[in-house]
Amino acid sequence: MQITLSTGKNFNVHKIENLLQTFKEQGIYLVASCGGKGICGKCRIKILEGKYRTESTGKLAPSDIQSGITLACRTFPDGDMVIDIPKESRLVVGDVIEISRSKDLFGLFQSMDGVISPLIKWITLDIPPPTIDNNVSDLERLKKALEEKGLHGMRFSLGFVSSLAHSLRDAGWKINLGYTHDPEAVCISRIENKKRFGIAADVGTTTVVVYLVDLFDGTLVDVGSTYNSQIRHGDDVITRIVYATEENGIAELRDAVVTDINNLIAPLVERHNIMAEDIESAVISGNTVMSHFFWSINPEYIREEPYTPSLNTFPVWKAWTAGLNINNLASIYTVPCVASYVGGDIVAGVLASKMHRRSEISLFLDIGTNGEIVLGNNEWLVTAACSAGPCFEGSGIRHGMRATEGAVESIKIDPQTFEPELGVIGSGKPVGICGSGMIDAITELFLSGIIDQKGRLLKGIKTDRIRDGFEGPEFLFYSDGRREIVLTEIDIENIIRAKAAIYAGISLMLKKVGIVLDDVERVYIAGGFGNYLNIERAIIIGMLPDIAREKFIFLGNTSIAGAYLCLLSDKMRKEAEEIALRMTNIELSVSRRFMDEYMSALFLPHTDIKLFPTVEKLLWKFPD
């Protein structure tokens, strides 16, 4: 059978399997939030010609089905086919994402420690070259020089010894020897070689960020960022854990993310004329599942009660075991995790926020693919993951998408005409709605009186934009004859669930430690989404607590900032380990009280409007 795409590309298929799988094997990736289970409705394709069998169309409008739209993961070819993959169904991974560098990271480092002590230490040795009268082996010669410097018990791996003969002679027997704290010899360089580099990597569920750092002076040399290609196997960690249990699943997930990191490192070293061998260490900061995948460790029991990871504290392993394209013997430090759903990214975030050093009580919120919360100060720290899910990144929302080109990121609705005004990322037409657009949409629908406190679209509003869709009532935000963007009542319900989970997590945590909102001096907002979060609107919908706005501080990507700190200093690594040990994890998913808090938060902004005094005042200004 031959499959031809509307772009002209064609290929032959020899076995009957669903088209999502067929495309994947050809290196063509579609958005597959649910991992191919037929429930997210994101893998839409248009059949232009050919016979096929399709199993489920529950997520498609009758008009879509009539026009030949099917779900790739539920469609099987019955002969030659011609297919169009719409723009919104194409998964863009591997693209470089523009990210801004964290502000003055070295300034942050200096304010916390100031002493650079990377994972690899260096010692200068002047080794007498062999002569006919003294021709003991190269390794014995090296050991003797180390003993003379008072360094005993050094270990030497086969990888190190196999290149020793050339390394010593190339360096003219005057060498710098890099070794780990154990101690184990890692690399040899000429005395005049001043190049020492490290990699800090934030391995997120959605994005991967890499910093190339000069380990001599702590300079951030360059940055790279891309989407985590594991997205091909599902948007959220649970879908990916399920994928990991399939044959070869873990290996594929590991290869995907390691390839992403290697693809980011390659242009960085080329641009700065650095040898990959000169990168002597790396720090990986990720949630618990991502850290497991990076090391190819089975994460299966993370998703099953009692939610147990294989490990939280990772030994320092070598680069070659991970497959990173840096010095083979480079040390890789993984920021320690706390529990199944509170990982090294949160520990790194707390480290970078410095909340664990201050006496005042702070709240740290990482709102990304999930929602993690830390509350505490220099004496205590409690944490919880509030399973908000990846809805703000587009998952579970009919026209939801990540904040990329074509995403509606801001919305205003005229309260008289109910006509929306859309702000779109990039110069093209809108394709879908991203997280900040969703928060805007709910706020505007609510303030214009189009939805009620439960998020239901109200009948009797004079606008054609409220209509009955195939999944029930929906509000039409955009239509150009070809493409429509709507929010259905089901979408609105999903967004309200996500915001309720975050607020309920905060609320329960405060109650558990016996404090009130007024006791919280600062609220740190971290995570990719955090950068674009409109605080005022997040309060109006009841996602964030209604407290003084000046208490909110945006920190950007704290996972990478913490990884940078750990890369530079032994003291920072120890501090991260102490933070992980000090954090008390509250398992919200099994808490009855969390369910009660959550149910109360399933309103706009909340069942108890008194908890949102500024929103209450605002609603007086906008009566129904």
Residue numbers 436-465 binding ligand FES by CB under 6 A: none
Do strands 583-585 and 381-385 pair parallel, antiparallel, or not at all (unpaired)? parallel
Report how far residue 165's alpha carbon sits from residue 546's, in angstroms, rounded to the nearest whole number. 67
Taking contact as CB under 6 A, which single stretch among the options 35-43, 77-85, 281-289, 470-478 is the one that binds ligand FES? 35-43
Of 38, 204, 336, 343, the residue at the interface with ligand FES (CB under 6 A) is 38
Minimum CB distance to ligand FES smaller for 58 or for 107:
58
Give me 282's structure tokens.
């790396």
String marking each residue 51-90 x if it binds ligand FES according to CB under 6 A: --------------------x-x-----------------
| Minimum CB–partner distance for residue 226 and ligand FES (Å) | 21
Report how far residue 579's alpha carbon sits from residue 338's, in angstroms, rounded to the nearest whole number. 9
| Minimum CB–partner distance for residue 26 and ligand FES (Å) | 16
Contact 217, 109 (CB under 8 A): no
Asked if 265 touches ligand FES (CB under 6 A), the answer is: no
| Minimum CB–partner distance for residue 73 and ligand FES (Å) | 3
Report how far residue 125's alpha carbon sits from residue 109's, in angstroms, rounded to the nearest whole number. 30
Contact 268, 221 (CB under 8 A): yes
> What 8-state DSSP symbol labels residue 135?
-
Do strands 197-203 and 207-214 pair parallel, antiparallel, or not at all (unpaired)? antiparallel
| Minimum CB–partner distance for residue 76 and ligand FES (Å) | 13
| Minimum CB–partner distance for residue 534 and ligand FES (Å) | 29
Residues 6+ apart with CB under 8 A from 352: 108, 555, 558, 561, 562, 565
Residues 6+ apart with CB under 8 A from 323: 254, 255, 258, 262
Report how far residue 162's alpha carbon sits from residue 170's, in angstroms, rounded to the nearest whole number. 14
Order across the sheet with 484-488: list the strands. Answer: 466-469, 472-479, 484-488
Give me 550's structure tokens.
């000046």
Taking contact as CB under 6 A, which single stretch among the options 33-41, 83-91, 347-355, 490-498 is the one that binds ligand FES? 33-41
Asked if 43 touches ligand FES (CB under 6 A), the answer is: yes
Minimum CB distance to ligand FES smaller for 31 or for 268:
31
Contact 452, 496 (CB under 8 A): no
Helices (H), 369-488: 435-447
Minimum CB distance to ligand FES smaller for 233 or for 303:
233
Residues 6+ apart with CB under 8 A from 343: 286, 287, 288, 289, 290, 291, 335, 337
Contact 202, 294 (CB under 8 A): no
Minimum CB distance to ligand FES smaller for 19 or for 611:
19
| Minimum CB–partner distance for residue 245 and ligand FES (Å) | 18
Helices (H), 13-104: 19-25, 62-66
Minimum CB distance to ligand FES smaller for 20 or for 337:
20
Residue numbers 197-226 binding ligand FES by CB under 6 A: none
Q: How far is CA 557 from the centre of its chain?
A: 10
| Minimum CB–partner distance for residue 252 and ligand FES (Å) | 16
Minimum CB distance to ligand FES smaller for 73 or for 244:
73
Of 24, 42, 240, 582, the residue at the interface with ligand FES (CB under 6 A) is 42
Report how far residue 207's alpha carbon sits from residue 234's, in angstroms, rounded to the nearest whole number. 13
Asked if 40 touches ligand FES (CB under 6 A), the answer is: yes
Of 28, 41, 420, 533, the residue at the interface with ligand FES (CB under 6 A) is 41
Minimum CB distance to ligand FES smaller for 43 or for 289:
43
Give me 104's structure tokens.
């003055």
Of 34, 127, 533, 565, the residue at the interface with ligand FES (CB under 6 A) is 34
Helix axes 570-582, 344-353, angle to 10 degrees: 110
Of 5, 28, 32, 566, the residue at the interface with ligand FES (CB under 6 A) is 32
Minimum CB distance to ligand FES smaller for 73 or for 388:
73
Residues 6+ apart with CB under 8 A from 501: 371, 386, 387, 388, 389, 598, 601
Of 24, 28, 33, 284, the residue at the interface with ligand FES (CB under 6 A) is 33
Asked if 401 touches ligand FES (CB under 6 A), the answer is: no
Give me 121's structure tokens.
């230490």
Asked if 555 touches ligand FES (CB under 6 A), the answer is: no
Contact 425, 532 (CB under 8 A): no
Q: By CB under 6 A, how many residues form the interface with ligand FES? A: 14
| Minimum CB–partner distance for residue 17 and ligand FES (Å) | 13
Contact 41, 399 (CB under 8 A): no
| Minimum CB–partner distance for residue 30 and ligand FES (Å) | 7
Minimum CB distance to ligand FES smaller for 31 or for 619:
31
Residue numbers 4-23 binding ligand FES by CB under 6 A: 20
| DSSP run (H or E) holding 258 | helix 249-271
Identity of the amino acid at 291: S
Taking contact as CB under 6 A, which single stretch among the options 39-47, 79-87, 296-304, 467-475 is the one that binds ligand FES? 39-47
Of 36, 77, 394, 556, the residue at the interface with ligand FES (CB under 6 A) is 36
Taking contact as CB under 6 A, which single stretch among the options 41-49, 159-167, 268-276, 280-288 is the one that binds ligand FES? 41-49
Minimum CB distance to ligand FES smaller for 77 or for 556:
77
Minimum CB distance to ligand FES smaller for 68 or for 183:
68
Taking contact as CB under 6 A, which single stretch among the options 31-39, 60-68, 147-155, 596-604 is the one that binds ligand FES? 31-39
- The binding site for ligand FES (CB under 6 A) comprises 20, 32-34, 36-43, 71, 73
